[in-house]
Amino acid sequence: MTGVEILPDSSQTQASKRVPGWLTTASDHLIELWHSGFNGVPSAEGLQFAELNAREVSTLYQDLPTTPGTKLYWRLYHRGRQGEDTMALDIGAPGAVVEQRSFTDGNTAWGYYTGVYTVPVDQTTTRFAFRSVSAAGGNRSIGNFLDGIFFGTAPSVVLGKIGVPEGPLEVGDVITYRITARNEGGGAAENLVLSDTVPDGTTYLPGSLHIVDGPNAGAKTDADGDDQAYFDAAARKVVFRLGAGASGTEGGSLPSTETLPAGTTVEYRVVIDRAAGGRRISNTATASYENRLGETPEPLTATSNEQVTVVRPAADLTVAKAADATGVTVGQTVTYRIAVHNAGPNAATGVTVADRLPAGLTFLSADGSPGRYDPATGQWTVGDLAVGATADLVLRAKATATGRVTNTATASANEKDPDPADNSDSTVVCVEPAPSCCDPCVPRTPRG
């Protein structure tokens, strides 16, 4: 493989191999490309660069669709071949370009240049042209190396955020937040840092930070101080340093969607706290980055869409049950008292208490405040309980058989109970035989 390729420009559609997107004013429509290192000349960027004087003095150019009023940034590298060469940058409407600047450089190093061009009114097509002015040595086919060309808008990072699953969710469920950063501008977004405040009503799950896609996907996160992502407990936020070259101290570079269509995606997880019951959890992610196309870095920011997750109401019911006596005899009445309390965070609706009498007890009566007991099903219908409210239930039964009798009451509601361990309680009553006429402990009346 030689160090030089001379290829047709993009107008030569019949050619099997040509330079896409670029045109030349050379009469033979040929563009000369050098590979980095050929004849001791390294490229300024990438693996190849162009020589303006291919076989004759010419202009290399592109015609691009543009929007009037748009600020376009340009940058390039220029170098002489045999000595000091001079090149001009012309920009404007095709047929009416205006010289923006000229560049003169020797053959020992690349010169780097940047600038800004604002598209005039009614100019929907703009030509960017690199014109050979002069070259050392006098040979018309030698001179003016060109590399690292960029014409485009400033970076523009767009953030999209989703929560998985979508919901409605319950207290105790886990939400996975996924955030995608796409650079829909022209230049690369530099020093890209994404942050997201963990929303109120949730708790961050340690170890859940991940760079899912894009530059450095799978990089270290959430463990050491030099990781690309971490959780800031004091500020209650997650921080990701993103892009190519990102480290534990600064963000990296995110190219435009022309190079990286999908951008980069990160995720982390939270668990829904009890306090979030019946609420909407919402937050937005933000990103900071820099536009370095101009003379000095320009700080920029982006904000994602608001991600909203609906959380169903929750009601923590607690049950306390006791009997008026722990021991009775057959035929006596056993009285049970049940307190059903709603500790919130939301009102409890459709509250019921399963309280079926066990064998050895026969239903006598029941009172509820509020509450109604059905002896056939053994279920209390309580209804609604406000946060902090208590239902007092009283159940009376007749002891009909000896032994240990265990009675359990279990409360439930339409809402999820965030702590179901205490929504049930049991009481044990010992039933002894009834006294008889022959029982020595029964007092007798003396005979005369």
Three-class secondary structure of residue 296 per DSSP: coil
Q: How many CB atoms lie within 10 A of CB 289?
A: 29
Q: Is the CB of residue 177 less than 8 Å from the CB of residue 307?
A: yes
Check residue 438 and give its pLDDT. 41
Q: Can you tell me which residue has the tokens 């950063």?
A: 181
**End-to-end distance of the chain based on CA atoms, in angstroms?**
140
Q: Is the CB of residue 328 less than 8 Å from the CB of residue 435?
A: no
- pTM exceeds 0.85, yes or no: no
Tell me phi and psi for residue 427, to 5 degrees: -135, 140
CA-to-CA dists, residue 115 to 62, 89, 119, 263, angstroms: 17, 11, 13, 27
Tokens of 25: 């004013």
Check residue 436 and give its pLDDT. 59
Q: Is the CB of residue 418 less than 8 Å from the CB of residue 312?
A: no
Q: Cis ω on the peptide bond leading into residue 370 (within 30° of 0)?
A: yes
Residue 101: name the closest of 58, 121, 140, 130 by CA: 130
Q: Report how far residue 13's alpha carbon sits from residue 19's, in angstroms, rounded to the nearest whole number.
A: 10
The answer for residues whose C-beta is within 8 angstroms of residue 153's C-beta and 6 or more apart is: 70, 71, 72, 73, 185, 186, 187
Q: Is the CB of residue 86 less than 8 Å from the CB of residue 79?
A: no
Q: CA torsion angle for 382, 383, 384, 387 (degrees, to 10)?
A: 10
Each of the 448 residues of the chain gets a pLDDT tens digit; together they read 479 999 999 999 999 999 999 999 999 999 999 999 999 999 999 999 999 998 899 999 999 999 999 999 999 999 999 999 999 999 999 999 999 999 999 999 999 999 999 999 999 999 999 999 999 998 988 999 999 999 999 999 999 999 999 989 999 999 999 999 999 999 999 999 999 999 999 999 999 999 999 998 887 777 555 689 999 999 999 999 999 999 989 999 999 999 999 999 999 999 999 999 999 999 999 999 999 998 889 999 999 999 999 999 999 999 999 999 999 999 999 999 999 999 999 999 999 999 999 999 999 999 999 999 999 999 999 999 999 999 999 999 999 999 999 999 999 999 999 999 999 999 999 999 977 544 444 443 444 3
Tokens of 337: 């008292």
The residue type at 408: T
Q: Which domains does the chain have, with CATH numbers?
A: 4-152 (2.60.120.260), 157-310 (2.60.40.740), 315-432 (2.60.40.1530)
Q: Is the CB of residue 249 less than 8 Å from the CB of residue 285?
A: no
Residue 104: name the closest of 56, 127, 136, 128 by CA: 136
CA-to-CA dists, residue 355 to 185, 222, 360, angstroms: 67, 49, 15
Q: Is the CB of residue 274 less than 8 Å from the CB of residue 292?
A: no
